[in-house]
A and B are shown apart, each in its own frame.
Chain A
Amino acid sequence: EVQLVESGGGLVKPGGSLRLSCAASGFTFSTYTMNWVRQAPGKGLQWVSSITSSGSYIYYADSVKGRFTISRDNAKNSLYLQMNSLRAEDTAVYYCARTSVTTSTNWFDPWGQGTLVTVSS
């Protein structure tokens, strides 16, 4: 079964740091682009960051650029999101998601169950 399981969320003070992890299983992790998407309480989905299969290409949403770092360890089938200088507006459920592809398009499937990050003093 293809599965993604996030961990590492919690309560952190403004200006603090947190590292999220996403453990992948059931597929060849090293061949897929992976992504982080977040959802603030009661709000919509916001793409956060993506990393290609080898880690050669990395992109961030402007709202997190310079503060968040996406990385992966293909030997451990794991995706990470290092979050520094956290702000109240970073409070959200963070999902990891795999990019599925055909020759003509791409989409996110599957998604993990999410991990909640709360930034508050």
Chain B
Amino acid sequence: DIQMTQSPSSLSASVGDRVTITCRAGQNISSYLNWYQQKPGKAPKVLIYGASSLQSGVPSRFRGSGSGTDFTLTISSLQPEDFATYYCQQSYRTLMYTFGQGTKLEIK
């Protein structure tokens, strides 16, 4: 299995802050990295696919970058609706996917 490690596990920030979440893969996964947002009691929804492609309808304040083993999700100016848990996922090993452990973004 390809291990995915996110950091930090939790993060406190204020509305308007710029935040960065990182995800490290246990091996080179090229750009096969996706980011999901999950709010309490809801299903996850994709924000970024292919490391840097913004899903249709997702605000442009979300940006993904990286390749190989190191990836980042940046939210340029936090909005109240962005407080949620974020997961990275590798899709390099198709049909044997793995997720990061999640990063909970809380209001400071």
User: Which residues of B (7-53) have their CB < 8 Å from a CB of A?
Assistant: 31-32, 34, 36, 38, 43-46, 49-50, 53
For the complex formed, measure the closest distance between the CB of A117 and the CB atoms of chain B, giving whole angstroms. 15
B69 within 8 A of A: no
Interface size class of A (residues with CB under 8 A): 20 to 34
Q: Number of A-B pairs whose CB atoms are under 8 Å?
A: 69
B62 within 8 A of A: no
Interface size class of B (residues with CB under 8 A): 20 to 34
For the complex formed, measure the closest distance between the CB of B53 and the CB atoms of chain A, giving whole angstroms. 8
A→B interface (CB under 8 Å): 33, 35, 44-47, 50, 52, 57, 59, 62, 95, 100, 102, 104-114
B→A interface (CB under 8 Å): 1, 31-32, 34, 36, 38, 43-46, 49-50, 53, 55, 87, 89, 91, 94-102
